[in-house]
Structure formats: structure tokens, C-alpha cells
Amino acid sequence: MRNLKIGTRLTLGFGFVIVLLLVLSGIGAWRILDTQQDNQALDQRLRTTALIQQLARQINKSANLTQATLSADPDTLRRLKQDIETTEGQTVEVDGQLAAALSQPQAAGLLKEIGQAREAFVQRRSQAFKDLDSGNYGEADAFFNQEMPKQTAGLMERIDRLSQLQTDSVQRLFEESARTSRLGLTVLAVATLLALILAPLFAWRVTRSVTHPLRHAVKLAEAVAHRDLSADVVARGSDEIGQLLSALATMTRNLRSAMTEVRTGSDAIAS
């Protein structure tokens, strides 16, 4: 380091501190971005969970409305069928949103099964309504009292499985986010500890490389000022202090030579 100029050393020192700050800032930014991504993913999965619950409510509502038509008067039946149609439209909309939101192949496949089972239920219900209108009460009764409970139970069982898949997905995301958070905190803590150790150490090294030879140069200059030319000046390094020591060494040699010449001249005159 003695061959580096003092300005270069100071620049390196400040640069080292800036690099440490950039590293810490980078780690902090990484943690913030990672947390934002985890929050976005978690929000999306929670929205998907809410859609699954909404789908379950819509199917239950549709089944209850369908069951209510069995004992309804004509006016009530007309209103119930309108409500059923509205509910089916809402169910189709929720199903489409879920299809776009689900990314797991297993969950997407299960949603497809739910859609197929629901379509079969709707078709069978339409046939049951036709049976009621045509007076075929035996077929209609078989649907309302036997087939519909089984179909509804099958739909809800599939929805429960889909909900469990989504719950497991949310749990895995929580665990992964926690692991990533712990890793980020560990990296940040280690980087901070290294910065606290290396920054003062580097600053001490740079300071010592300047003050130690400068203190030596001051002592030599004081010795010369007190007419002590006995000290041997050894110039090391090519920095400003090395150049100063080299100049002091040259000055000391010249003064010694001058003093020797003066003594020689004085001795010659005295003799």
C-alpha cells in the first residue's frame, strides 16, 4: 500500500465503504422485492380460495332452489326458475375465474371434473323440470329424492378436495416465504457483521499507512532541526510520504557533507 498515493488510498477507503453500503442496500432491496412477490402470490391464492368457497355456496344455493321447486306453486316456481338461472350464470362466471386462477395441474383437473359433474346435474335437472311439466312425476321424483342428493354430495366432495389442495398450496407458500425470510435475515445479518468488522479494519489500515510513516518523517525533521544528522533516513514507498522521506534523506546527506567540508576547512585553517 506504500506505493499508492495518499489520495488513491483515501479513494479506495471511501470506495470500500460505498461498496459495503451498496451490498447492504442490495440485500435489503432483494428482501423487499421478494416479500412483495410472496405477498402477491399469497393474495392471489387467498383470492382463489375465496372463489372456491363462493363456488361451493353457489352450488348449494342452486341445489336448495331446485329442491324448493318440488312443492312450489306456479308463480313461485317461475320465480325459483329465474333464481336458478341467475345462480347458474354466477356459477359459470366463478368457474371461469377459477379456471384462470388455478395453476396446479391437479387442481385444474379437479375443477374440470366439477364442471362436468355440474353440467350433468344441470342437464338432469332440466329433464326433471320437463318431467314435472308433462306429468311424469315418477321420473321427476327419482331425480329430486335420489339422484340430486347424490350428485350434490359428489360435487361438494370434489369441491372439498379442491379447497384442500388450495389450502395446502397456501400453507406451502407460507412455509417457503418463512424460509426465504429467515435466509434473507441471515444474509443481511452476516453482511452487516462483516461490514462492521471490515470497514473499521480497512479504515485503520489506511490511516496507519499514512500516519505511521508521516510520524517517522516528523521525528526526522525535528532531529535535523536540532542539528542531529546522525539518523539514517530510509525512504520506502513511492507515495508522497516516501518522496518526503527521500527528500529528507538527501537533505541530511547534503548537510553532513557540508558539515564535513566545514570541519575540514576549519582544521586546515587551524593548522
Whether 241 is covered by a domain: the verdict is: yes
Separation between Cα atoms, residue 191 and residue 199, nearest integer Å = 11
Residues 186 and 88 grouped into a single domain: yes
CATH number of the domain residue 52 falls in: 1.20.1440.210
| Burial status of residue 211 (CB atoms within 10 A of its CB: 0-12, 13-18, 19 or more) | exposed
What 3-state DSSP class applies to 236? coil
Separation between Cα atoms, residue 83 and residue 63, nearest integer Å = 11
Per-residue pLDDT tens digits for 203-233: 787 777 777 777 877 887 787 777 777 766 6
Per-residue pLDDT tens digits for 239-258: 777 777 788 778 878 887 88
Per-residue pLDDT tens digits for 168-186: 888 888 888 888 888 878 8
Residues 141 and 70 grouped into a single domain: yes
Whether 124 is covered by a domain: the verdict is: yes
Considering its fold, how many domains does the chain have in total?
Answer: 2
Whether 211 is covered by a domain: the verdict is: no
Residues 190 and 56 grouped into a single domain: yes
Range of the domain at 50: 6-198
Whether 205 is covered by a domain: the verdict is: no
